[in-house]
Amino acid sequence: MPYFEGSDKTSLFYTDWGQGKPVVFVAGAWLSSSAWEFQMLPLSEQGLRCVAFDKRGHGRSDWVGHGFDYDTLADDLAALLDHLDLHDVTLVAHSMGGGEVIRYLSRHGYDRISKVILIAVTAPLMLQTPDNPEGIDRSLFDTLSAERTKDRPRWMTQNA
């Protein structure tokens, strides 16, 4: 199976289908690279190189207890692009993956990127802070996290 080393040597799984101009898919939280298979198959058959990866703690990647901040996730994306030496990339991101892509662009620039497609994304800073007064109060995140960890199967069923 293909793996690459993330920004802190975390082992991250990826899929790489087809040949041609690269399209890199970045899934949202709790989703693996397989979430993109219905897009990757027809696009790879149409002459595009389709790449998707399992972010840390997801799918077949290492289940580490750290590095879930946008900076580290963006650096993992950069490590993938470096590992495969991809250029002229179209990035396609869903939900939290959009925050990773946005942070990637702010940290690593646009040299490797030709297009960005954002689908129902979550921006990097959702938390209410003095310089982000429109953000979401931390207590909501704490409540959601407590509910999710208390009974994860029930939470997943209720939020599927």
Same domain, 95 and 132: no
Kindly state whether residues 144 and 104 are assigned to the same domain: no
Number of structural domains in the chain:
2
Q: Indicate whether 73 and 110 sit together in one domain.
A: yes
* φ, ψ for residue 46, nearest 5 deg: -95, 10
Query: In this structure, are 110 and 135 located in the same domain?
Result: no
Instruction: Take residue 86 and report the two structure tokens written for it.
Output: 């991809």
Say if residue 142 is in the same domain as residue 95.
no
Q: Average of pLDDT values for 41-69?
A: 94
pLDDT of residue 80: 98
What value does the mean pLDDT of the chain take? 90
pTM for this prediction: 0.78
Residue 153: give the domain boundaries: 127-160
Per-residue pLDDT band for 160 (boundaries 50, 70, 90) equals low
Residue 73 structure tokens = 């996730």
Q: CATH no. for residue 74?
A: 3.40.50.1820
Statement to judge: residues 18 and 80 lie in one domain: yes
- pLDDT at residue 138 in the model: 83
Distance of CA 94 to the CA centre of its chain: 8
Helix, strand, coil content of the chain in percent (nearest 5): 40, 25, 40
- pLDDT surpasses 90 at 34: yes
- Say yes or no: 13 and 73 in one domain: yes
Tell me: do 69 and 132 sit in the same domain. no
Between 158 and 25, the higher pLDDT residue: 25
- Between residues 135 and 89, which one has the greater pLDDT? 89
- Pick 150 or 120 by higher pLDDT: 120
Together in a domain, 108 and 58: yes
Same-domain check for residues 87 and 157: no
pLDDT of 149 above 80: no
Query: Quick one: 60 and 95 in the same domain?
Result: yes
Q: Is the pLDDT of residue 126 over 70?
A: no
| Tens-digit pLDDT profile for residues 111-123 | 999 999 999 987 7
- For residue 136, the model assigns a pLDDT of 74
Question: What is the per-residue pLDDT across 60-117, written as a single tens digit (0 to 9) for each?
Answer: 999 988 898 889 999 999 999 999 999 999 999 999 999 999 899 989 999 999 999 9
Which are the contacts of 130, defined by CB distance < 8 A and separation ≥ 6? none
97 shares its domain with 158:
no
